[in-house]
Amino acid sequence: MSCITYLSESNFESSILGKKAVLVVFYEDWCGHCRQFAPVLEQLAGEVAGDILVAEVNVDQNMALAAKFGVKSVPYCFILKDGNVVEEFGGTKDKAELKQKLKSV
């Protein structure tokens, strides 16, 4: 069972509401780097469940949401704290790098 939450334009706001910290990853199904990044995200999501929401947004299915965030490449990540972007970065990271970035949240 996946610990990753899948967000869309219709559930984005309600899903992050009340969450202290959220890691949102914009991806596309056809993206090789996104597929390589998926297992890292799954492991991270399992380890931080209850503390940090790890979520994915499919860019092809949610173009307006990707545009709102200014996503120009995938994978692209945003760390939200209390609903506000506190950090953003593109490309893949290993689990240790992601945990380090999330420590500041």
Predicted TM-score (pTM) of the model is: 0.95
Walk me through the domains of the chain, giving residue ranges and CATH numbers. Answer: 5-103 (3.40.30.10)
- When the pLDDT of each residue in the chain is averaged and rounded to a whole number, the result is 95
Active site residue 34: yes
Residue 39 in tokens = 């297992």
Active site residue 77: no
CB 40 within 8 A of CB 92: yes
CA distance 79 to 84: 8
Residue 91 identity: G
pLDDT tens digits, 9-45: 999 999 999 898 999 999 999 999 999 999 999 999 9
- With a cut of 80, say whether residue 1 has pLDDT above it: no
pLDDT tens digits, 42-57: 999 999 998 999 999 9
Catalytic residue among 3, 31, 38, 40: 31
Range 9-16 contact pairs with CB under 8 angstroms and sequence separation of 24 or more: 9/62, 9/64, 9/65, 12/57, 12/65, 15/53, 15/55, 16/53, 16/55, 16/80, 16/83
At residue 2 the predicted structure's pLDDT band, cuts being 50, 70 and 90, is confident
